[in-house]
A and B are shown apart, each in its own frame.
Chain A
Amino acid sequence: DTGVSQDPRHKITKRGQNVTFRCDPISEHNRLYWYRQTLGQGPEFLTYFQNEAQLEKSRLLSDRFSAERPKGSFSTLEIQRTEQGDSAMYLCASSLATGGYTFGSGTRLTVV
C-alpha cells in the first residue's frame, strides 16, 4: 500500500466551473476525511465517512460542496460553481476508528 493518494495534485479552474477531486485511502482504513487548508492556517474540517456512510459535515460547508464514498473505498469531493474563496489545498486523510490520520499530499485548487 502506498498510502493515501489524491488526484489531481493541482487544479486551476475558472470561477463558476465545477471541479471534482479524488482520494484513495489506505485500504484497511474505514474512516476517510476531507479537510481544507489555506496559507498560514491549520486544516479545517469539511466532512468524514465511516465506510460508505457520511457521518458528519461541517456547518461551515456551503451547499456547493458535496462528497461521496460510494463503496466505502475511494472518495470524491465536488465543488460546484467555484468561487475565488474556494482556492485552497484540499487534504484527504484516512484512519482506523482510533488513532491519528494518514494524510495525502493534497490537491491545490486555484480559482481564477
Chain B
Amino acid sequence: GEDVEQSLFLSVREGDSSVINCTYTDSSSTYLYWYKQEPGAGLQLLTYIFSNMDMKQDQRLTVLLNKKDKHLSLRIADTQTGDSAIYFCAETYTNAGKSTFGDGTTLTVKP
C-alpha cells in the first residue's frame, strides 16, 4: 500500500542548513515531490525528482533520493526565516493520477 512518513518538527538557526526527511513504501513511485505550505495558504510545489535520479539541485534546494531504502530528503542551504513553513513530501506512481502526501514537517527558523 501507499504510505509516506515524515518527522513532525525541525528547528534550525538562520543561516544553517535544514534537512527534512521522508520515507515511502510504494516501490513503483515514479515522481517524488516536495511542497511548502505557509499558514492559511495552499501548498506550493518546490521541487520534484524522478525515480530514475539520485539527486537534483535547484538553487538553495537539494533533493536526494535513495531508492533502495525508499528515502527522500530535502536540504535547504542558508535557511532563512522566510523558509519557516510546513514541508510535505508526496509520491505519485505510474498510471495513477493522485499523489499520496505525508503529514508534513514543520520547519521553524530561529533568528
B42, CB-defined interface residue at 8 Å: yes
Give the segment of A62-70, A78-86, A95-103 that binds chain B: A95-103
Q: Which residue of the partner chain, among A42, A45, A98, A99, contacts B103 with CB atoms under 8 Å? A: A42
Q: Which residue of the partner chain, among A35, A55, A100, contacts B33 with CB atoms under 8 Å? A: A100
In this complex, how many residues of chain A approach chain B with their Cβ under 8 Å: the count is 25
Question: Is the beta-carbon distance between A104 and B97 smaller than 8 angstroms?
Answer: no
Question: Is the beta-carbon distance between A42 and B88 smaller than 8 angstroms?
Answer: yes
Which A residues touch B97, using CB under 8 A? 31, 33, 48, 50, 55-56
A26, CB-defined interface residue at 8 Å: no
**Given A42-B4, A50-B97, does the pair A103, B43 have CB atoms closer than 8 Å?**
yes
A91, CB-defined interface residue at 8 Å: yes
Interface residues of A (CB under 8 A from B): 4, 31, 33, 35, 40-45, 48, 50, 55-56, 91, 93, 98-106
